[in-house]
Structure 1
Amino acid sequence: MSEKKLFLLPDLGEGLPDAEIVEWLVKVGDVVKLDEPLVSMETAKAVVEVPSPYSGKVLRLAGGAGDVIETGHWLVEVEIDPSLPQRADAQDTGHSHSHKPAAAPVGGTSVPNAPPAESIGTEVPPTGEEEGDAGTVVGAMESSNAVRSEQAIAVGGVKAMPAVRALAKKLKVDLARVTPSGANGDVTLADVKRAAANPAPAAPAPRPTPVGGTSVPRPLAEKPQPTARSIGTKVPPTDSEVKLDVDDPVRGVKRNMIRTMSQAHAEVVPTSLMDDADIHAWAPGEDIMARLIRALGVAAQAVPALNSWFNAKEGTLRRHSRVDVGIAIDSPDGLFVANLRGAEKLDAWQIRGELNRIRDGVRTRSLPPEDLRDYTLMLSNFGVFAGKYATPVVVPPCVCIVGAGRLYHAVVPVLGGLETHRTMPISLTFDHRACTGGEAARFLRALLDDLQRPH
């Protein structure tokens, strides 16, 4: 009798409890080989391909596109083909099953996991790619080294990254009718957006035909390099496209934000200080984000207590010598926090280059996991949208976050007269369990002093 195996959904991030099915790359009856992609899954940080740990015939699939599957729940049932390569049961696949035990299939049909009802306690700021540097109140993005690197794969004769397929599904674009412009004939995000804006039909790409009931192999292509794009590129806002008066399940990135904000609210003792930086002396064309990040590096080195991780359970405070800034990035999918590492060592051009790389990576959902964790302090440039002052959320283990508000002109006394100076509002929220008020005030003073320098 043929052996049947259940493949359990692995942990695609550090402790993430679930993932959402974007697209199945196999169907019941297909023969899948070891390490061939089974399904595209969306987690709180990325859209990833999940490879098969077995070779054999696909018997059952746990759910369809849009269903949320819990980590450790069965994902696919496979009838093992002993004539094909198999991975030994004891061999590590690079994933873990650290959550609930698998639920066995019932009867002859798959049982999708019903997403739990959740409510959002935080309003998501306006989405879209805004000119300048976008930022919002910060959340944490959990990630893991276990996730395999993203590559474009050919499905139905069309090569595209998982994030591209997810966008095409959202915009109802048939990838077979999109003219690819990427490396190696890959369909890119820009291709999908152009096709959505201009629905004129294009010549369909040829589709290979399955032979003898066996799925067509899906060869992996080289990972396409993200193309440099202008931060000022505009896309239509999605706020006007959302469904109204409908209880939509909260998933993916936004779902993780709920968990993270709830944890921060339960653990942190937040206190805020606010002040203004007089940037009248700045030269024309100064890069605002580059100056903010440089000032954070200066302040962190002057007062290391604010550039720290606090472990409440162990009662320890780790003051960091490096300054890794978690940059809040708003996107249509939700809030990401990307790590700009070694900020204290970078000049303005290097900082701008890293910011562009990070923002492109968020748009294409192609940032590696290590770029979404381990920042030592946090920055939110919420003023690009609106607002002068805020009380942004500190996410453990960090102990502080700096928020930059909307620039304005203030009237200041100068030598007995009055002048109008360009002014940047600054808000600092810190965890009062880990920092004293004096430490926070000295940190803010050092930050303001550097921002007010001419160069």
Structure 2
Amino acid sequence: MIAQFRLPDLGEGLPEAEIVQWHVAPGDSVTLNQTIAEVETAKAIVELPSPFAGVVSELSHAAGDVVSVGELLITFDIEEEAPADAAPVSDSGTAATSPDEVRTPNLVGYGAPPRAAGRPQRRARAGSRAVTGDTAVLDAPHDLLAPAASEEPRHERPRSTPPVRKLAKDLGVDLALVEASGVTGVITRADVEAFALRLAPASAPAGSSDEAHAIDTAAAPIGDGGGARETRIPIRGVRKATAAAMVRSAFTAPHVTTFLTVDVTATMRLLDALREDRRLDGHRVGVLAVVAKAVCLALGRHPELNARWDEEAGEIVQYGYVNLGIAAATERGLVVPNVKDAEALDLVALADALAELTSVARSGRAGLDRLTGGTFSLTNFGVFGVDAGTPILNPGEAGILGLGAVRRQPWEFEGGVALRDVMTLSLSFDHRLVDGEQGSRFLRDVADVLREPGRAMLLR
């Protein structure tokens, strides 16, 4: 019997996904819930489990193709017969249906199948099918993409991103032999290039190998004749979603940005003391965590910054919790995952949550639950050595705070001039929700905590 599997709605109503790579080929035998492919949406990379046990008969698309939700992905040849309670097949070869009910495939995220009025419905079994001739069309269960144990153990692939895997393929590098240099365990471009360079002397004279040539070409400066005059990159995935979100935000919410430069010497001394505390071994508490804590405290006093504008309902919605978004630059583009209920975490727990969140985001494995539902965001210019900027609001949020680089410079202190650690904060807010006075008071409260961390004990 032939069974078809179409691309399901992977959440958030995303209309399409790009096939990153197939894990199966025609003729392969697969087990139920075995990973058959990785697809990339505008939010994250998702592994698709097989809804059937059988043999792959056809792949309808190749790696790199962008597939719309509902399009045929893969066809299986399964030995299982149609269930006894399947709809009878008419003489024309189509499944017979009663006039008051039409059976519709129920793909993930599509919602429940239509119900006939006044008729009780049994819960659909995993892998139930509607029969059309000798073809069984998948009626996928809602938990199709939930974690599930395979019937057979499968080889765990090295963690990496699609661009890194492509680079490894171009350089002829087996990722299974590459060791990740970072603490996250994710293999980076630098890891692949370093491994390729180590291989070069063993395979050919220095500078003559294909790997070395590919790396040199990639790093060639503009104008030396070593590269193409133009490179066209398809706009898709995270880059496409980010661009659409930024345009929507910029032309929907009236942005105002205000700046404040603050002496953070006391905060830097606090961080030095925390690093020397043996009780905190294994925890990395940095400036971002302190700012995040200060923001959570300040939002409690200024709820207008922790809100959204509900145009349809004609209401301003203020949140009693903080889902703190962190803008993370990844190889796939900018994403803004968030820490749920950040206001309930102490400084160390918040630092741990931020580190884990950015690690997952950069690996491309942040789930939709982490990429949605944010109430306020942070973006860190300082890691790039930048002092200030005008951040664009994450759509649906009232504010975003940018952190500049911490610099040691002459500063007025206790009636004189001294070398102090100084940082510039950049706050953008939606002027429909936040007045200039409210935004300024919020920014001052955040700065007060950074200037004197002990003030955090006074804020409620």
Sequence identity (%): 28
> Which residue number in structure 2 is paired with residue 374 of structure 1?
373
Work out the CA distance in 2 between the residues paired with 1:445 and 1:56. Answer: 63
Work out the CA distance in 1 between the residues paired with 2:162 and 2:383. Answer: 30
- Is the contact made by 1:328 and 1:335 (CA closer than 8 Å) also made in structure 2? yes
> Which residue number in structure 1 is paired with residue 5 of structure 2?
7
User: Following TM superposition, by how much is the alpha carbon of 1:253 offset from its aligned partner in structure 2, in angstroms?
Assistant: 1.7
Determine if the alignment matches structure 1 residue 388 to structure 2 residue 387.
yes
Written as runs of structure 1 = structure 2, the 5 A alignment for 1:8-27 is 8-27=6-25
Secondary structure at the residue paired with 1:64?
Answer: coil
Work out the CA distance in 1 between the residues paired with 2:145 and 2:229. Answer: 35
User: Following TM superposition, by how much is the alpha carbon of 1:297 offset from its aligned partner in structure 2, in angstroms?
Assistant: 1.0
- 1:387-427 Cα offsets, whole Å, 9 max, x none, are 32211111221111011112234544445533343221111
Determine if the alignment matches structure 1 residue 452 to structure 2 residue 455.
no
Task: Pick from 59, 62, 65 the counterpart of residue 64 of structure 1.
Answer: 62
Query: Aligned letter for 1:291?
Result: V
Residues 191 and 256 of structure 1, relative CA distance in 2, 3 Å threshold = closer
TM-score by length of 2: 0.68
- Is the contact made by 2:158 and 2:175 (CA closer than 8 Å) also made in structure 1? no
Residues 150 and 31 of structure 1, relative CA distance in 2, 3 Å threshold = closer
Determine if the alignment matches structure 1 residue 281 to structure 2 residue 253.
no
Query: Aligned letter for 2:388?
Result: Y
Work out the CA distance in 1 between the residues paired with 2:388 and 2:77. Answer: 59
> Which residue number in structure 2 is paired with residue 168 of structure 1?
165
Secondary structure at the residue paired with 1:256?
Answer: helix
Which ranges in structure 1 are unaligned for 5 or more consecutive residues? 99-143, 183-187, 202-235
Task: Pick from 268, 276, 300 the counterpart of residue 253 of structure 2.
Answer: 268
Work out the CA distance in 2 between the residues paired with 1:68 and 1:405. Answer: 38
User: Following TM superposition, by how much is the alpha carbon of 1:277 offset from its aligned partner in structure 2, in angstroms?
Assistant: 1.6
Higher relative contact order (CA 8 A, sep 6+): 1
Which ranges in structure 2 are unaligned for 5 or more consecutive residues? 87-102, 113-141, 200-214, 221-226, 272-285, 455-460
Determine if the alignment matches structure 1 residue 96 to structure 2 residue 110.
yes
- Is the contact made by 2:163 and 2:331 (CA closer than 8 Å) also made in structure 1? no
> Which residue number in structure 2 is paired with residue 121 of structure 1?
none
More deviation, 281-290/7-16 = 281-290
Secondary structure at the residue paired with 2:337?
Answer: strand
Determine if the alignment matches structure 1 residue 42 to structure 2 residue 40.
yes
Work out the CA distance in 2 between the residues paired with 1:276 and 1:268. Answer: 25
- 1:291-324 Cα offsets, whole Å, 9 max, x none, are 1011101210111010112212222222112122
Work out the CA distance in 1 between the residues paired with 2:148 and 2:231. Answer: 34
User: Following TM superposition, by how much is the alpha carbon of 1:14 offset from its aligned partner in structure 2, in angstroms?
Assistant: 0.8
Work out the CA distance in 2 between the residues paired with 1:149 and 1:243. Answer: 44
- Is the contact made by 1:283 and 1:454 (CA closer than 8 Å) also made in structure 2? no
Determine if the alignment matches structure 1 residue 290 to structure 2 residue 275.
no
TM-score by length of 1: 0.69
Work out the CA distance in 1 between the residues paired with 2:392 and 2:433. Answer: 15
Work out the CA distance in 2 between the residues paired with 1:87 and 1:174. Answer: 52
Residues 153 and 418 of structure 1, relative CA distance in 2, 3 Å threshold = farther
Over alpha carbons, which structure has the higher Rg? 2
Query: Aligned letter for 1:289?
Result: L
Written as runs of structure 1 = structure 2, the 5 A alignment for 1:391-410 is 391-410=390-409
- Is the contact made by 1:53 and 1:87 (CA closer than 8 Å) also made in structure 2? no
Determine if the alignment matches structure 1 residue 198 to structure 2 residue 195.
yes
> Which residue number in structure 1 is paired with residue 435 of structure 2?
436
Work out the CA distance in 2 between the residues paired with 1:317 and 1:9. Answer: 37
Work out the CA distance in 1 between the residues paired with 2:151 and 2:231. Answer: 35
Query: Aligned letter for 2:194?
Result: A
Determine if the alignment matches structure 1 residue 257 to structure 2 residue 239.
no
Written as runs of structure 1 = structure 2, the 5 A alignment for 1:414-425 is 414=413, 416-425=415-424
Work out the CA distance in 2 between the residues paired with 1:366 and 1:78. Answer: 28
User: Following TM superposition, by how much is the alpha carbon of 1:38 offset from its aligned partner in structure 2, in angstroms?
Assistant: 2.6
Secondary structure at the residue paired with 1:63?
Answer: coil
Written as runs of structure 1 = structure 2, the 5 A alignment for 1:193-272 is 197-199=194-196, 240=219, 245-272=230-257
Secondary structure at the residue paired with 1:356?
Answer: helix
Work out the CA distance in 2 between the residues paired with 1:87 and 1:356. Answer: 51
> Which residue number in structure 2 is paired with residue 342 of structure 1?
341
- 1:115-174 Cα offsets, whole Å, 9 max, x none, are xxxxxxxxxxxxxxxxxxxxxxxxxxxxx997434989989x743267568743442277
Secondary structure at the residue paired with 2:266?
Answer: coil
How many aligned residue pairs are there? 367
Task: Pick the structure with more helix per residue.
Answer: 2
Work out the CA distance in 1 between the residues paired with 2:151 and 2:295. Answer: 41
> Which residue number in structure 2 is paired with residue 315 of structure 1?
314
User: Following TM superposition, by how much is the alpha carbon of 1:190 offset from its aligned partner in structure 2, in angstroms?
Assistant: 4.4
- Is the contact made by 2:178 and 2:195 (CA closer than 8 Å) also made in structure 1? no
Q: CA RMSD of the aligned region, Å? A: 3.9
- Is the contact made by 1:309 and 1:317 (CA closer than 8 Å) also made in structure 2? yes
Work out the CA distance in 1 between the residues paired with 2:150 and 2:445. Answer: 46
Residues 152 and 193 of structure 1, relative CA distance in 2, 3 Å threshold = farther
Work out the CA distance in 1 between the residues paired with 2:369 and 2:85. Answer: 27
Query: Aligned letter for 2:195?
Result: N
Work out the CA distance in 2 between the residues paired with 1:414 and 1:163. Answer: 48
Work out the CA distance in 1 between the residues paired with 2:44 and 2:54. Answer: 28
Query: Aligned letter for 2:398?
Result: V
Work out the CA distance in 2 between the residues paired with 1:414 and 1:83. Answer: 82
- 1:334-364 Cα offsets, whole Å, 9 max, x none, are 1121212333232222122112211221233
Residues 49 and 256 of structure 1, relative CA distance in 2, 3 Å threshold = same
Query: Aligned letter for 2:324?
Result: V
